[in-house]
Chain A
């Protein structure tokens, strides 16, 4: 009888060979142009804010709010998941993906009510982003305070 750990490992290797790979070149190409396009739209909004005389910080916030708004709107229309399926990281990595990850569970868990459903489940995917983003910013602030 073979050592079960060996058998498991060789089975895993066999399965890795057997399973088809994602079409990575095609996926990367789509991610590149969709992600690039979203960033370019952001840049145009940014340029418009600057043109209207707003400062950099506010212009950046407005870019985020508008892109988040568009993403939420497309998610509500059941369109964003189709874009996501096509573009992968191209729509996930920009702030649009963050918005989608808040809006999609909010819609899904509406059936469990507005408090424990929408309210609580809204952060199932995006919660970790806030936890790790905010925590690392506090750490950065503390380290900066010590060493500045």
Chain B
């Protein structure tokens, strides 16, 4: 493992993604990617009393699924990185409290899943352990409650707003395995272009995604055509268009091979999700379900996954602060 360029880590013996798993809510289960998910829930409570408990259960069951799919005994997993959107990351810490695997809680807003992949890869490559697990979750109802309004409030969502994905994604990164391999990781900087509208997260995060994208190309001496697919986490329809145009201005044409998890997970017209999906589970579940399958079947051989996050909370937006964005990228190849 060594640092190349300004912000990129190159893995000398790239760690392998051994298995992935994801569980999503009912709305995601009606979306175009439904068949790629391990489980689609019937209702958002999943038999629990509160949204928060339901989210904990989702991440817990997702982690159990990924462990059983990997066919490793749980005791062989050395570290677990997990995070979510609720205050102090309670979904992951409560959901995984019975897991008995050394736990490191992480927060990167909606970029948490890739942040977990980066940490896992570094730990594995650095020899701290043979197998690392990473997971991230989000829940529409608990996120609305914490960041916006009560569910029963009769308000209208503006067209630029995004829909928090209910679900969780999880992956096991291993020293041994047959791929797909994580070859590079580009850790992003915080970029704040002064957007204050909490109903336009895609616009707030797009500059961060651009910064990470350009830095990645510069550090690795690659260009967009090197990749079969460049996928961002949750920029949504507006953020996707913005990123394409911003990249074009910088001389990179990503139109043909670029897409966004928030655009892929819902059908905009029939599901009325406005600007698309968002949340930790957006990137987490689309990667663990759809993209991992594409890599395994070699439909995508070189993937650049850039998870984006809006580093804001309810207090900061009430105090009139702008929304800082973050984006982390991993290059996954088979």
Give the total of B residues in contact with A, Cβ under 8 Å.
26
Q: A1-60: which residues lie under 8 A (CB-CB) from chain B?
A: 7-9, 11-12, 14-15, 18-23, 27
Report B-chain residues with C-beta under 8 Å of the C-beta of A80. Answer: 152, 154
- What is the CB-to-nearest-CB distance from B289 to chain A, in angstroms, rounded to a whole number? 29
Report B-chain residues with C-beta under 8 Å of the C-beta of A21. Answer: 159
Given contacts A20-B159, A88-B156, contact A15 B151 (CB under 8 A): no
Report A-chain residues with C-beta under 8 Å of the C-beta of B152. Answer: 75, 78, 80-81, 100, 103-104, 107-108
Give Cα distance in the complex from A21 to B158, angstroms.
Answer: 8
Q: B191-217: which residues lie under 8 A (CB-CB) from chain A?
A: 193-195, 200, 203, 207
Choose among A19, A78, A125 the residue that contacts B238 (Cβ–Cβ < 8 A).
A19
Give Cα distance in the complex from A83 to B153, angstroms.
Answer: 10
B241 CB–A CB distance under 8 Å: yes
Choose among A18, A83, A87 the residue that contacts B241 (Cβ–Cβ < 8 A).
A18
A95 CB–B CB distance under 8 Å: no
B49 CB–A CB distance under 8 Å: yes
Given contacts A19-B160, A111-B49, contact A11 B153 (CB under 8 A): no
The reply to whether B207 and A108 form a contact with Cβ atoms under 8 Å apart is: no
- Beta-carbon nearest neighbor of A27 in chain B: B156
Interface size class of A (residues with CB under 8 A): 35 or more
Give Cα distance in the complex from A124 to B155, angstroms.
Answer: 15
Give Cα distance in the complex from A12 to B50, angstroms.
Answer: 38
The reply to whether A18 and B49 form a contact with Cβ atoms under 8 Å apart is: no
Choose among A20, A92, A107 the residue that contacts B160 (Cβ–Cβ < 8 A).
A20
- What is the CB-to-nearest-CB distance from B87 to chain A, in angstroms, rounded to a whole number? 13
- Beta-carbon nearest neighbor of A78 in chain B: B152
Give Cα distance in the complex from A82 to B158, angstroms.
Answer: 15
- What is the CB-to-nearest-CB distance from A74 to chain B, in angstroms, rounded to a whole number? 9
The reply to whether A22 and B154 form a contact with Cβ atoms under 8 Å apart is: no
Interface residue SS majority, chain B: loop
The reply to whether B154 and A83 form a contact with Cβ atoms under 8 Å apart is: yes
Report A-chain residues with C-beta under 8 Å of the C-beta of B52. Answer: 111
Report A-chain residues with C-beta under 8 Å of the C-beta of B177. Answer: none
The reply to whether B194 and A84 form a contact with Cβ atoms under 8 Å apart is: no
B242 CB–A CB distance under 8 Å: yes
Report A-chain residues with C-beta under 8 Å of the C-beta of B195. Answer: 11-12, 15
Interface core residue of A88, A103, A108 (most chain B CB under 10 Å): A108
The reply to whether B156 and A18 form a contact with Cβ atoms under 8 Å apart is: no
Against B, the Cβ 8 Å flags (1 = close, 0 = not) of A53-86 are 0000000000000000000000100101111110
- What is the CB-to-nearest-CB distance from A108 to chain B, in angstroms, rounded to a whole number? 4
The reply to whether B158 and A85 form a contact with Cβ atoms under 8 Å apart is: no
Give Cα distance in the complex from A83 to B155, angstroms.
Answer: 9
Q: List 27 A-B contacts (CB under 8 A).
A: A7-B193, A11-B193, A11-B195, A11-B207, A12-B195, A15-B242, A20-B238, A22-B156, A23-B159, A27-B156, A78-B152, A80-B154, A81-B153, A81-B154, A84-B156, A85-B154, A85-B157, A92-B154, A100-B154, A101-B153, A104-B150, A104-B153, A104-B154, A107-B150, A108-B151, A124-B150, A125-B149
Which 5 residue pairs spanning A and B have beta carbons closest together?
A84-B154, A108-B150, A104-B152, A8-B194, A104-B150
